[in-house]
Structure 1
Amino acid sequence: MEQTSVAADVAAEEIVVNQINLSHPWEWINKGWRDMMNARRYSFTYGAVIVLISGLMTLGLMREGLFYIVPFLAAGFYLLAPIIGLGLYQMSARLEANEPVQFCSALEAWRRNQAQLGVITAGLLIIMQLWMMSNFVLFALLFDGMHPPLENFFGSVFLSGQHNAFAFASIAVGFILAWVAYAISAISVPMLIDRKVDGFTAIRTSVKAVLQNWVPMTFWAVLIVCFIGLGLATFYIGLALMMPLLGHATWHAYRDLVPREQ
């Protein structure tokens, strides 16, 4: 009850968002690299766990003959990355406060505002489900069964020129869902572990930050796509570096975009 009342009081106040420029994303990367090096034992362990879980999930799907789902789960990784990086934000917060970094940072961060973090997590999971469902519908329209051969899918849809309408629809839906997910989660998760605010206030502030600074925030989104893409392209191994780097950098993005509480 106390946590809810505090969150309600903060939500009643309009949270100011700072104006940034195109140089800020690179500053976030530099600060993220510094945090990653200062907490390298914990950061790289965190990244290694992400690689391990991703690899095991992929192997499990291959054994069940569901490998065709893997590319779409990889795309869904972008949607869930803000929650996956939860522990990395907590590490940066501890470094910022000159406090010792420790294991189980994700659990510590979750406990700080777990009910409201659940709101963000549920929203991102719903968006991921919409992404998966939209592609299953596309599969149903293009193929006789629900298990189309992966090696023929991309060539048939994107290269043959026979299904341009479906290809365009898939790309358009994916882009819209990805942009919505990015807008609501760009800084909302770090904000929820830093302040006792409700999830909808954090979402509203995140959307405001993206729209108010749409040029640098779009550039930041492109950097995120490229960095995570490099991690995925190396059969997840690169995620051991890219996820900690982006996670720490996201904390500094939040710090630059939202003024500290007085």
Structure 2
Amino acid sequence: MSEPFQLPGINRVPMNAPMTWLARGWQDLWRAPGVCLAYGVGLALISFAVTATLYLTGQFTWFLVMAGGFLIVAPLLGMGLYRAAAMLGEGEAPGLGDMVFPKGVLRADTVLLGVALFVLFGIWAEAAYIIYGLSTYSVHTSVADFLAFLLTTPEGLRMGLIGSAVGGVIAFFAFTLVVVSAPMLLARDSDVFISVITSARSVLANLPVMLFWAFLIAALTALGMALALVGLVIVFPWIGLASWHAYRDLVQHREARAG
């Protein structure tokens, strides 16, 4: 087998590894706060624009769908943050240009991974539409009506539980495919197929740890969204930087070629 197609080894990591990754990500965030927070501001503004559009067009019921979809596609949005973490690890100061246009991202392998994630997002959106349609005959056009249905009626509570379960399964499947493959593609250590296989192997070899890591990502993202999306300014860069350290700890690799 030729060298580019060799499967890298997978490390077993301790249960507290996600806390270590978050600690390293936090340190990186404040080593380059200007560019990292600017990246977070850009994402928060996009999220606010999407949310405002849903609200003004009477489609706010889709907010939870979009929030779940965000968790699915977010690893690709973090490519610039992986680049920043890689540069910081090499003693370099990342610039905003390095993060917005990271080297090695615009290639077929990354596009294929993005297509796979957007297909999963489409599956989640269709599933959410079906679950909502089977739960009520009413159309809730205001935030107050939708929240009253979701939180105070048996049908709404059941919809929330089923939707959370289905969305959680789809999101964790996406997480399994991309948690290592996205930063691995940024490092240009392999093609998309080997990267995805390596990502799945990393999760399966460290399943309890990775379930904990997925929970932390979801919880921190939910907190950022709950704070009127402003929390994403800090939370998203923090998680993105930490994700690079997760990749570095999980995969036995040649010297990263992120430069």
Same fold (TM over 0.5): yes
Deviation for aligned residue 1:154: 5.3
| Structure 1 residue 97: Cα displacement | 1.4
> In the alignment, is residue 111 of structure 1 matched against residue 100 of structure 2?
no
Confirm or deny: 8 A CA contact 1:33 1:249 kept in the other structure.
yes
Contact 1:113 1:193 in 2 (8 A): no
Query: Following TM superposition, by how much is the alpha carbon of 1:167 offset from its aligned partner in structure 2, in angstroms?
Result: 5.2
How many Å separate the matches in 2 of 1:61 and 1:164? 22
Match of 1:124 among 112, 117, 121: 117
Residue 72 of structure 1 pairs with residue 31 of structure 2:
no
Instruction: Give the deviation of 1:196 after TM superposition.
Output: 4.0
Partner of 2:181: 188
State the partner residue of 1:100. 93
Please, which runs of 5 or more residues in structure 1 have no aligned partner? 1-7
Partner of 1:209: 202
The answer to whether residue 48 in structure 2 is matched with residue 55 in structure 1 is yes
| Structure 1 residues 229 and 237: CA distance shift in structure 2, 3 A | same
Contact 2:61 2:146 in 1 (8 A): no
Label 1:169 to 1:46 Cα distance change in 2 as closer, same or farther (>3 A).
same
Give distance in 2, aligned partners of 1:36 and 1:71. Answer: 28
Q: Which moved more, 1:8-17 or 1:192-201?
A: 8-17
Structure 2: any 5+ residue segments left out of the alignment?
none
TM-score by length of 1: 0.88
Moved more, 219-228 or 113-122: 113-122
When residues 106 and 123 of structure 1 are mapped into structure 2, their CA distance, relative to the original with a 3 A threshold, is: farther
| CA shift for structure 1 position 189 | 0.5
Task: Using the aligned pairs only, state the percent identity.
Answer: 29
Q: Can you list the C-alpha shifts for 1:78-126, whole angstroms capped at 9, x where unaligned?
A: 1111111110000011111122311133443363462111111111111
Report the Cα distance in structure 2 between the residues aligned to 1:42 and 1:195, rounded to whole angstroms: 23
Partner AA of 2:172 in structure 1: W
Query: Counterparts in 2 of 1:172-251, with a 5 A limit?
Result: 172-251=165-244
Q: Give the aligned CA root-mean-square deviation in angstroms.
A: 2.2
Distance in 2 between residues matched to 1:89 and 1:35, nearest whole Å = 11
* Secondary structure in structure 2 of the residue aligned to 1:109: coil
**Contact 1:86 1:110 (8 Å CA) reproduced:** no
Between Structure 1 and Structure 2, how many residues are aligned? 255
